[in-house]
Amino acid sequence: MKEKGYVQVYTGNGKGKTTAAIGLAIRALGAGLRVLFVQFVKGLPYSEHIALSRFENLTIKQFGRPEFIHSKPSLEDIQAGKDGYNFVMDIFKNSSTAYDVVILDEANIAVFFDLFSDDDLLELIKKKPQNTELVITGRYATQKIIDAADLVTEMKEIKHYYSQGVIARDGIEK
């Protein structure tokens, strides 16, 4: 990608943040761009990994344990978050491994659970190569991250079948 890359944030309590990021990844891959998809706080295999693994110009890395954090993070959760942060920082420092699009899925949640700080995330934003599009997803984007972004989309939950007891379904939510 030769054009200037921007910072996009997908946040809010509604469904669709990761799905929107995956849609952007597919669009970028279709245009021949190189995409790095980094997932924080997620360590389980998801259906999108199967579909996305068919693309050559895509790298997926997960930095989470096999369960989502629901309360206080464990030391393993914190270490996984820091490992992911350092991985992305190393990518941004090494221009020979540049990606056109970098997606930091659930990075806002990683900040919310203090796996790293919003100042750390701001440092990633500052270090991103100029021609790299950076997408940050997850609920609870801080005001600092919103202010640093070029585009912010809030997914707002109006109604969700989870409240009626429907669990996550293969191919739809996972």
Tens of pLDDT, residues 84-106:
999 999 999 986 668 999 999 99
Tell me the per-residue pLDDT of 3-42, one tens digit each, with 9 for 90 and over.
899 999 999 999 999 999 999 999 999 999 999 999 999 8
Structure tokens at 137: 């997803």
Specify the fold of 7-164: Rossmann fold (3.40.50)
> What does the pLDDT read at residue 96?
63
- For residue 157, what pLDDT band results from cuts at 50, 70 and 90? confident
The answer to whether 137 and 22 are in contact (CB under 8 A) is: no
- Taking each helix axis as running N to C, give the angle between helix 75-93 and helix 118-127, from 0 to 180 degrees, rounded to the nearest 10: 20
More confident: 68 or 126: 126
Q: 12, 137 in Cβ contact below 8 A?
A: no
This prediction's pTM:
0.91
